Structure 1
Amino acid sequence: MNAKTPDTPIVIIGAGPAGMAAALALHTVGHTPILLERYREARPAGNILNLWPPPIKALQEMGVDTDDLGAPCHTTFRGVKGNIRADVQIPDDVVKAYGGGFIGLLRPELYRRMLAAMPEGVLRPDVEVTAIEDLGPTVRVSLRDGSSIDAAAVVGADGIDSMVRRLLWGPSERREHKLHIIGGYTFADVPGVERNEVVLRHDRTVQGTYSSIRDNGRDGIQWWVLEAWNPKAEPPADLKSHALSLARRFPGPLAALVDSTDQKHFQRWPIRDRKPLKRWSKGRITLAGDAAHATSPYAAYGAGMSIGDGYTLAQELTGVDLTDAAAVVAALGRYDDRRIAHTTAQVQQAYVLGKVFHHAPAPLRPVRDFILDKTPMLQKQVGEKSPAEIVAQLDEMGAGLVRA
């Protein structure tokens, strides 16, 4: 297993969206990926999800079935009384081309479709990596069972607590946003729901949101509430009761949606990230997904950026002689150059939005809300600038993946 062959694989560590995307895209362009997952199966860390057009395009190029993948949604940021603070604008031609543009779905369905497209033998579950050593001609990946794989390159897609990131760039502290989300989904028919809309409201301290989803031919609603929370504090003992207490602060159907949700469809997660890196790659080793750019849900783009990482990595490695160390290093450098500025901007904007909406000192909140309600500031940033930057990624992605 240690002998180098002309078909030396590229090893990807972690079978989340970034790892699966990297494996699918690299296979598409003619390389041999090996996707290692430490759990017994590739399993989603969460339930609710939204995707922008760039990851939808990337999935299509990788051979993933995106037909009827999610519910098309139009997004507005609103005040607690329903006034529009920002209308998120996606061009009509993009909406038409990508199944509604911004779509809502359940994370397990994304996994199911990506796994359905995965070539046999690529995913190796229940395999734990213990060490990685860049030998120059190859990278040796040592496994818990005592065996090893010599790889042409290694992609660390192993999440926010990435071992690969720590190996490359040393330890770094998690950046606590001091926020948490409680979310869930329901297929109940709740009166007053605005279908195919992301209704995102803020009062002085809390966000309450719901949006349409599509899952296996069923139309439903995902919802979430977000508030400041001390990361050292114990989580609420009863997620449903706590979520209801927050949802009732908002007019409309949000509280009824929470109330109609089965307990098993609730989830809570604290929001944290790590400060962005200036480089991801070193030698023949690089990063993707949360290992590179863990992102607050305020960006609604973490999984989407992860899928884009895999797509871009494969583009840069297309046609590269993997026995040529200089060529591999150069390709990974180009991958960094294409991905880091965009992902860093999204990570930082999400962090700042969390600060603005949930950590403003009490005396400043009326001033903040006056600015958000009476000026075009939020419209320009989250309604126009940010979606325009995301949609611009469609052009940056080029014509697609060149099939081997």
Structure 2
Amino acid sequence: MNKNPDEILIVGGGLGGLSTALALGRKGMAVRLLEQSEQIGAIGYGIQIGPNVFQAFEQLGIADLVRKQSHMPSALLMLDAYSGEQLAAVPFDAAFRSWFSAPYVAIHRVDLHHILLDACRKLPNVRLDQSVTVSGFRDLGDRVEVATADGKTIEGAALIGADGLRSVIRSQLHPNDHPRSIGYVAHRTIVPVDAVPKGVRCHEVVLWVGPAFHIIYYPLRNRTELNIVAVFKTDTFAQKNNPAAHKAELQHTYRDTHPEVQAVLGLIDLSRRWPLADRDPIRHWARGRVTLLGDSAHATLQSLAQGAGMAIEDAVYLAALLDVPNGDVAATFLQFQRDRVVRTSRVQLESRALWDVYHAEDAISRDVRRQQYQDRDAEDYYRCLKWLWTPIEMPTVPGTAPGLRGQLPAH
């Protein structure tokens, strides 16, 4: 048995888990992160980060590094995939900066992962364990015990499940709750900008929408790479590793689309596809000394580009709540759940609503979408997104009386 009653155990070495380890570690807490892979790494594709997340990056001490390794697109565009008509534009210009205190950026997931990982490795109180597959847990009242697939147990002061969409920790807390498959798949690719045909926009975030499909692309790494994601609905969403069939489906789905879309489709790597899913919102993330965080608590569709953002917000918010010597862990985890559930559930539900708008399958719905979006100007979009892109208010935690059951060790 591995036993350290002072350590907070985190399951999952993705962006949410690493952000939590770093946030807690910077506050002097003992942290042990358990990751099942042989290396704590990330799949190498791009992600978008809204201005709301930069407050969290400041709390983590990595904001300048993130800015340095990010691309700042000039705008977010939504276009009709057939006609090429612009449906919406959200410019990231001086007017945007008057609304929001931080930039909207695109960053390679691997780059952000390495920033977080390097920062964690500099903290002597943060322990990173690879090749540890967690199979379950027990809340022992004054501590938690984690079971691993190789028959070992690990004890700690508390447990944070940051193990993603198919969370083992969530499956034990809610055995009858499962991810919600939506019948869509994604093909992801990164190519050098030098290999991109002329006429393809490489400065903005460009989203082309059509009936039951979309394609989005944007630059990374000082505009040297283009991140491409093609998404569509298919009855074969559960099937993988058939590039010839994938190519036939892609060509059929995107037939008759705009020449710029066709040019980008020719760049896509079809060797791998990802079935897409989210989770239904729930109010109960926490039980005793165990809580969920990030995708394990509130996995969302990609419509608002806030999956990583919500996990990173979770991390710094939970660390602020836990930063109380002799605090009550169970009460703190419940407070974390109460404070974060409405915001994250709103992201989940608004992402679902937007998904249906983006992928409108009948002509009248597409006509309504055109009028709905073209009636808005940039200020309307800033106002509409203010709830999301404004940094969250961090908690002010009153002192907790000593002697409460379920305490964290003083730090």
Same fold (TM over 0.5): yes
- Please say if residues 317 and 395 of structure 2, whose CA atoms lie closer than 8 Å, have aligned partners that are also in contact: no
Indicate yes or no: 2:209 matched with 1:202.
yes
Aligned to 2:352: 351
Aligned to 2:108: 106
Q: 2:332 is paired with a residue of what secondary structure?
A: helix
Match of 1:237 among 227, 233, 243: 243
- Please say if residues 103 and 213 of structure 1, whose CA atoms lie closer than 8 Å, have aligned partners that are also in contact: no
Deviation by residue 1:201-228 (Cα, 9 ceiling, x = unmatched)? 21334212221222xx552211222221
Deviation by residue 1:17-46 (Cα, 9 ceiling, x = unmatched)? 111111000001121110000111122245
C-alpha separation between the residues in 2 aligned to 1:160 and 1:62? 24
Deviation by residue 1:108-131 (Cα, 9 ceiling, x = unmatched)? 112111111113552100112233
Aligned to 1:34: 32
Q: Which runs of 5+ in 1 are unaligned?
A: none
Change (3 A) 1:398 1:3: closer
Aligned to 1:164: 169
Deviation by residue 1:15-74 (Cα, 9 ceiling, x = unmatched)? 011111110000011211100001111222452211112333323321332132221122
Q: Which amino acid aligns with 2:107?
A: L
Indicate yes or no: 2:66 matched with 1:69.
no
Match of 1:297 among 302, 325, 333: 302
C-alpha separation between the residues in 2 aligned to 1:48 and 1:292? 22
C-alpha separation between the residues in 1 aligned to 2:272 and 2:132? 27
Alignment of 1:373-388 (within 5 A): 373-376=370-373, 379=376, 383-384=381-382, 387-388=385-386
- Please say if residues 20 and 319 of structure 2, whose CA atoms lie closer than 8 Å, have aligned partners that are also in contact: yes
- Please say if residues 200 and 263 of structure 2, whose CA atoms lie closer than 8 Å, have aligned partners that are also in contact: no
The 10-residue stretch of structure 1 (181-190 or 87-96) with the greater mean CA deviation from structure 2:
87-96
The 10-residue stretch of structure 1 (155-164 or 383-392) with the greater mean CA deviation from structure 2:
383-392
C-alpha separation between the residues in 2 aligned to 1:145 and 1:107? 30
Identity of aligned residues (%): 26
Aligned to 2:47: 49
Q: 1:347 is paired with a residue of what secondary structure?
A: helix
Change (3 A) 1:28 1:52: same
Match of 2:117 among 115, 118, 132: 115
- Please say if residues 188 and 260 of structure 1, whose CA atoms lie closer than 8 Å, have aligned partners that are also in contact: no
Task: Report the number of matched residues.
Answer: 383
Give the Å deviation of 1:270.
1.3
Q: 1:23 is paired with a residue of what secondary structure?
A: helix
- Please say if residues 320 and 395 of structure 2, whose CA atoms lie closer than 8 Å, have aligned partners that are also in contact: no
- Please say if residues 89 and 383 of structure 1, whose CA atoms lie closer than 8 Å, have aligned partners that are also in contact: no
Change (3 A) 1:126 1:301: same
Alignment of 1:137-148 (within 5 A): 137-148=142-153
Deviation by residue 1:351-375 (Cα, 9 ceiling, x = unmatched)? 2233344364xxxx12111111123
Deviation by residue 1:265-308 (Cα, 9 ceiling, x = unmatched)? x6421111121111211111000121111111122111121111
Q: Which runs of 5+ in 2 are unaligned?
A: 397-410
C-alpha separation between the residues in 2 aligned to 1:350 and 1:9? 36
C-alpha separation between the residues in 2 aligned to 1:12 and 1:272? 23
Match of 1:285 among 281, 290, 298: 290
Alignment of 1:386-397 (within 5 A): 387-392=385-390, 394-397=391-394
C-alpha separation between the residues in 2 aligned to 1:27 and 1:209? 36
Aligned to 2:342: 341
Aligned to 2:331: 330
Give the Å deviation of 1:86.
2.8
Q: 1:22 is paired with a residue of what secondary structure?
A: helix
Q: 1:127 is paired with a residue of what secondary structure?
A: coil
Indicate yes or no: 2:363 matched with 1:366.
yes
Q: Which amino acid aligns with 1:167?
A: Q
Q: Which amino acid aligns with 1:297?
A: Q
Change (3 A) 1:372 1:355: closer
Q: Which amino acid aligns with 1:237?
A: P
Q: 1:333 is paired with a residue of what secondary structure?
A: helix
C-alpha separation between the residues in 2 aligned to 1:255 and 1:232? 22
Change (3 A) 1:140 1:359: same
Give the Å deviation of 1:93.
2.9
Give the Å deviation of 1:147.
3.7
C-alpha separation between the residues in 2 aligned to 1:165 and 1:378? 42
Aligned to 1:223: 228
Change (3 A) 1:259 1:318: same
- Please say if residues 289 and 309 of structure 1, whose CA atoms lie closer than 8 Å, have aligned partners that are also in contact: yes
- Please say if residues 96 and 382 of structure 2, whose CA atoms lie closer than 8 Å, have aligned partners that are also in contact: no
Aligned to 1:179: 184
Change (3 A) 1:16 1:3: closer
- Please say if residues 193 and 202 of structure 2, whose CA atoms lie closer than 8 Å, have aligned partners that are also in contact: no
Change (3 A) 1:240 1:398: farther
Q: 1:67 is paired with a residue of what secondary structure?
A: helix
Change (3 A) 1:107 1:40: same
Indicate yes or no: 2:147 matched with 1:149.
no
C-alpha separation between the residues in 2 aligned to 1:267 and 1:97? 38
Give the Å deviation of 1:10.
0.4
Q: 1:149 is paired with a residue of what secondary structure?
A: strand
Considering only aligned residues, what root-mean-square deviation do their CA atoms show, in Å? 2.9
- Please say if residues 183 and 237 of structure 2, whose CA atoms lie closer than 8 Å, have aligned partners that are also in contact: no
Change (3 A) 1:205 1:144: closer
Q: Which amino acid aligns with 1:221?
A: L
TM-score normalised according to structure 1 size: 0.84
- Please say if residues 295 and 350 of structure 1, whose CA atoms lie closer than 8 Å, have aligned partners that are also in contact: yes
Change (3 A) 1:93 1:226: same
